Amino acid sequence: MTPLILVVGFLGSGKTTFLKNLMPALALAELRPTLLINDYQNARVDAAQFQDLAEEVKALSGDCVCCGSRDELFSFLHEFEHAPDRVMIVETNGTTDSAHLIESLALDPGLKKFSLPIQLSIIDGKRWQKRFWHNSLEREQAKTASHVYISRKDSIGTDRVKAVENSLAEYGVRGVHTDPVAFAMELSTVAASMGAERDGFTPPLEHEHDHHEEANHHFSSCEIPLPPLVDRQRFREWINRLPEEVIRAKGLIVFKDDPQEFVVFQKVDASDEVQFFPVGKTPRIQTPLILLIGPQLPQDALNRSIGELSVDDSV
């Protein structure tokens, strides 16, 4: 599989600067990065800065890759030529809904040769939570991150850095703090440990290599198969007990009281009720599964808990 990296951060947070420092570190790790840059106006200008630093650079100017430019992004990823030493990096624009993008990438059956997304959030140390009505978007972009980098540390002082770190913790941001060199080293380990492809909707813990090793790679999501038939009430009770690390849950399920109907479900926040959307007998995806979004997910415990849905009277 090819590691799939999403670099997310609010407008002007320092994503391009981080990537300029990351590219040489990836080269030292003997990795060949492909970089896709999405921005409203200057994607091609930014892309030109990386022509000598990345194996391949593509610009997506215009709408965000989680909505308007989504088809162009997915078309590029579907045509990507995989190799053991390659890494795919998507620099998103400043207003990306990272949870929605992770969800779309993880559930696309055409992208099984990519890893589940690894999200790096660039946190503007100077402007963090000083964006008025955009503060909530900035927080949401950080919450789904498996890795976090605070930019502009050299110009804001240690007190401000500490205040930002405390604020991130207060808002439940669980991503591992990193830097370009450390991140490149981790991607090298990820690339070396991955198998040939993600087989259908197999969760990370069921790849051929040691699942504990992969769990330490800090993916931003995980997929877990569900039983073929599930009791509806038992499922409601189970999903309402998901740990706080789970920021969003979405998937496909079949209930035993209506075994001919596939149902899409989603739960956006721990305090919200799960929502169900019947999709008929032959949806595009026909494998019952749940996609859990959130960094530092307790994957072993989540896998074990699925057994609660597999008791004799629910199958």
pLDDT in tens, 89-133: 999 887 788 888 898 898 888 998 999 999 999 999 999 999 888
Which structural domain range is residue 261 located in?
A: 220-314
- The answer on 21 and 80 residing in a single domain is yes
Q: Give 65 or 211, the one with higher predicted confidence.
A: 65
pLDDT tens per residue, range 230-271:
999 999 999 999 988 888 898 889 999 998 899 999 887 766
Q: How confident is the model at residue 284 (pLDDT cuts 50, 70, 90)?
A: low
- The answer on 9 and 152 residing in a single domain is yes
Residues facing residue 6 across a β-bridge: 90, 119
Residue 243's domain is classified under what CATH number? Answer: 3.30.1220.10
- Predicted local distance difference test score (pLDDT) of residue 314: 42
- The answer on 158 and 25 residing in a single domain is yes
Is 209 within the bounds of a domain? no
- The answer on 21 and 161 residing in a single domain is yes
Residue appearing with tokens 């997910």 = 297
Q: How confident is the model at residue 315 (pLDDT cuts 50, 70, 90)?
A: very low
Is 201 within the bounds of a domain? no
Is 241 within the bounds of a domain? yes
Q: How confident is the model at residue 143 (pLDDT cuts 50, 70, 90)?
A: very high
- The answer on 244 and 178 residing in a single domain is no
Residue 94's domain is classified under what CATH number? Answer: 3.40.50.300
Inform me whether the pLDDT recorded for 29 exceeds 70. yes
Distance, CA of 90 to CA of 19 (rounded, Å): 10
Helices 70-78 and 98-107 sit at what angle, rounded to 10 degrees? 40
pLDDT tens per residue, range 53-81:
777 778 775 555 555 567 888 888 999 99
- Predicted local distance difference test score (pLDDT) of residue 94: 77
Inform me whether the pLDDT recorded for 217 exceeds 60. no
Average pLDDT in the chain: 82
Query: What's the average model confidence in pLDDT over 165-193?
Result: 93
Determine the 3-state secondary structure of 232 from DSSP: helix
- The answer on 175 and 236 residing in a single domain is no
Residues facing residue 293 across a β-bridge: 221, 248
User: Which residue among 157, 177, 193 closes a domain?
Assistant: 193
For 25, 120, 121, 135, the CA distances from 177, given in Å and listed in that order, are 17, 9, 10, 20
Q: How confident is the model at residue 214 (pLDDT cuts 50, 70, 90)?
A: very low
Decide: 106 and 223 in contact? Cβ < 8 Å: yes
Structural domain count of the chain: 2
Q: How, if at all, do strands 118-124 and 176-177 pair?
A: unpaired
- The answer on 143 and 88 residing in a single domain is yes
- The answer on 237 and 164 residing in a single domain is no
- Cα atoms found within 13 Å of the Cα of residue 209, Cβ hemisphere only: 18
Decide: 87 and 184 in contact? Cβ < 8 Å: no
Inform me whether the pLDDT recorded for 205 exceeds 50. no
Using alpha carbons, select from 276, 274, 272 the residue that is nearest to residue 263.
276
- The answer on 157 and 53 residing in a single domain is yes
Inform me whether the pLDDT recorded for 40 exceeds 80. no
Cα first-last separation, the chain: 33
Q: Give 28 or 244, the one with higher predicted confidence.
A: 28
Distance, CA of 225 to CA of 300 (rounded, Å): 13
Is 198 within the bounds of a domain? no
Determine the 3-state secondary structure of 155 from DSSP: helix
Distance, CA of 137 to CA of 167 (rounded, Å): 15
Q: How confident is the model at residue 152 (pLDDT cuts 50, 70, 90)?
A: very high
What are the contacts of 269-274 at 24+ separation with CB within 8 A? Answer: 270/242, 270/244, 270/246, 274/236, 274/239, 274/240, 274/249
Distance, CA of 149 to CA of 184 (rounded, Å): 13
- The answer on 244 and 176 residing in a single domain is no
- Predicted local distance difference test score (pLDDT) of residue 55: 72
Is 232 within the bounds of a domain? yes
Inform me whether the pLDDT recorded for 3 exceeds 60. yes
Distance, CA of 274 to CA of 283 (rounded, Å): 20
Angle CA 242–110–262, to nearest 5: 50
- Predicted local distance difference test score (pLDDT) of residue 63: 54
- Predicted local distance difference test score (pLDDT) of residue 211: 32
- Predicted local distance difference test score (pLDDT) of residue 59: 77
- The answer on 250 and 156 residing in a single domain is no
